[in-house]
Structure 1
């Protein structure tokens, strides 16, 4: 068992430093070119849905209610995919709209529409409310933060706990009428892998808010992305919020982006009837309906909700070994030194790595110099600024397993070297 770095005497620390520097020099000499930056599906995963390229077929162009998918119209999307997906994620199909591509597009639209016109509960457009704020659980999803940054919101960090965001903090902040909304990734959260508890979901649905048009973007991107057959509970927050007297609170997002072909998916928006009517009234001006052919192709590929679950079992078989490798290497290389902590998610696409405070940027730099590309330190925080400079998001999905192993061997060396440098520097300053 390794001795914790902060318990080593100067001679022990120098001996370890010499060894780790030699290992880092060997790492650089390998001239690696490895990438753990983004949670993209691998080529193997994309191949699972290759039949999409031949679907829905030249003679299959009608939805089950008779709609000709080749033509304009149908802002809600086709009933085939809406009913299938509603069953898969546990919502009412009447509360679900099927759109194009990524759910990120719809999230941007929702913020844009509210900013330009106000929501169905807004006294005025959000653009006319200076000082608007948005709650951001951290570490969180960088592309979420980029949207609210684009519109000039003041983004307020909320700590993530083992069962979701710190609800005492959320409930206190939400009383401010300038707080307009909150980002959430409730199952296998990006990047921590945390799943919100039912209690957290119910508190979010129930809490008092200062703004009458407060919205929670419930980005349930990983609801069915478990590494085993044991899926987490996925409460119907739309139903819960309605029961608690806040029917319009949730903008619920989902998509096929990391289930079929990431660049040609189907996005879903679920919410209350009033919210959906508001969305339709503006989205119907923006466009004349989604790509219904692609929706019919997806419905044909899945067949039914169980077909989608069967496909997810293939994804689990591809992803689980990579995540096991990352967690195993971190434990083997860094366990006992007291220089890092990491999450061990049961699904999703990311692992959150916390290193010695003040060293995350140095770890990123060392890795880059050694040919290992990591998501930039601080990316999981608004404006890319981690106040403790300690968090790094790991995304092992894209590379083959042997490359994941090589990359993580290198990352472990970089984490330990940065920690040693930090220890020597601060000891010398004392």
Structure 2
């Protein structure tokens, strides 16, 4: 077991620095071209859904008798709505099935709130003096990019093992300029944490200064387990209604990273009033979603248990890759006390914290050695990690042997940046 780096003697540190620099030069000499930047499914995972390309077949009527080839039905067909509502533990009437991207729905909801105001807004958000937004960190970069696009002031709060720091969230939410909050409540991106029931209830019941305050509840990874176990998906819509805040949650889900990117089904669940407001604008924007694709997905999955069966296949593909990353981090960095990392039970990422002030250096060292990592700070608003410590690792896409090579290289870069920081 390696000793803590900060307790090493000058001679020990010098010797380690020489070894690490030699190892880094060997790494660069390999002329690698490896990519751990985005959480994309592997070819093996995409092959699981190949059957979709032959569905729905010749029978194209939904269970309500409607012809899926035709216009209409903004809510989506009941076949997929009822199936996914069971997956999420929600009533079907509160779940709309849309086209492929839940990010598109989130962008629309915020865009329309700025342009028109939502159903609880005293005025459009564009007419507010300032719009502020709560951003748990490390978080999902694509969320932050949306609020950045609208010039929103993003205020960060740290994540605990159970969810966001609720003392800070409660205090911020009292500000009437704070209009919303981003959340990835199950197997979060990039930390992999899952919000506790207590945190979910607190978010549903806390006081909010803005009458049109909204929590974007992005359950993108609700069924993306790395084991055989699926965490509970809490019905926060009902929790909020019981607490007297029925319109608080905009609840998202999708088949992204389950079937095909850009050709899946996204879901928006919320209160009846929120859904009516959404429909009043979405019905102007378009006449209805791709119901043929919705029917194909309904037949592919068959049931909520069918979804879970598919996700167990994904877990079988992903879990060995994640374990390989964790084993290499422990083998190469354990004991030095220069890095910590999450050990997720689901999701698509591992969150790696390195010595403060060295994350950008690690990413650059890796790049120079032919290993592409997500940019330092990407898990923070405006890509600004105040401690320059967090790096998001995405092990899903490459083959396992490439992951091993890449992670061994990343560990070398973490060590090299650490010894540099210590002046060796």
Partner of 1:36: 36
Partner of 2:55: 55
Question: Partners in 2 of 1:61 and 1:138 — Cα distance?
Answer: 44
Partner of 1:376: 375
SS of structure 2 residue aligned to 1:205: helix
Q: How does 1:193-342 map to 2 (within 5 A)?
A: 193-342=192-341
- More moved, 231-240 vs 388-397: 231-240
Partner of 1:353: 352
Question: Partners in 1 of 2:88 and 2:232 — Cα distance?
Answer: 10
Partner of 2:403: 404
SS of structure 2 residue aligned to 1:136: strand
4+ residue runs over 2 A deviation: none
Q: Deviations over 1:351-410 (max 9, x none)?
A: 000000000000000000000000000000000000000000000001111111111000
The Cα of 1:231 is off from its aligned counterpart by: 1.3
Instruction: Give the CA RMSD over aligned residues.
Output: 0.6
Question: Partners in 1 of 2:390 and 2:158 — Cα distance?
Answer: 13
The Cα of 1:211 is off from its aligned counterpart by: 0.2
Partner of 2:15: 15
Q: Deviations over 1:215-249 (max 9, x none)?
A: 00000011111111211121100011111110000
Question: Partners in 2 of 1:206 and 1:172 — Cα distance?
Answer: 13
SS of structure 2 residue aligned to 1:263: coil
Question: Partners in 1 of 2:3 and 2:354 — Cα distance?
Answer: 17
Give the TM-score of the pair, scaled to structure 2: 0.99
The Cα of 1:270 is off from its aligned counterpart by: 0.2
Structure 1 residues without counterparts, runs of 5 or longer: 426-430
The Cα of 1:164 is off from its aligned counterpart by: 0.4
Partner of 2:24: 24
Question: Partners in 1 of 2:335 and 2:84 — Cα distance?
Answer: 45
SS of structure 2 residue aligned to 1:191: coil
Q: Deviations over 1:301-360 (max 9, x none)?
A: 001111111100000000000100011100000000011000000000000000000000
The Cα of 1:130 is off from its aligned counterpart by: 2.1
Partner of 1:88: 87
Question: Partners in 2 of 1:175 and 1:303 — Cα distance?
Answer: 44
The Cα of 1:61 is off from its aligned counterpart by: 1.0
Q: Is residue 5 from structure 1 mapped to residue 5 from structure 2 by the alignment?
A: yes
Structure 2 residues without counterparts, runs of 5 or longer: none
Q: Deviations over 1:276-319 (max 9, x none)?
A: 00000000000000000000000010011111111000000000
Partner of 1:428: none
Question: Partners in 2 of 1:137 and 1:109 — Cα distance?
Answer: 21
Question: Partners in 1 of 2:50 and 2:112 — Cα distance?
Answer: 35
Question: Partners in 2 of 1:88 and 1:229 — Cα distance?
Answer: 15
Question: Partners in 1 of 2:186 and 2:356 — Cα distance?
Answer: 27
SS of structure 1 residue aligned to 2:99: coil
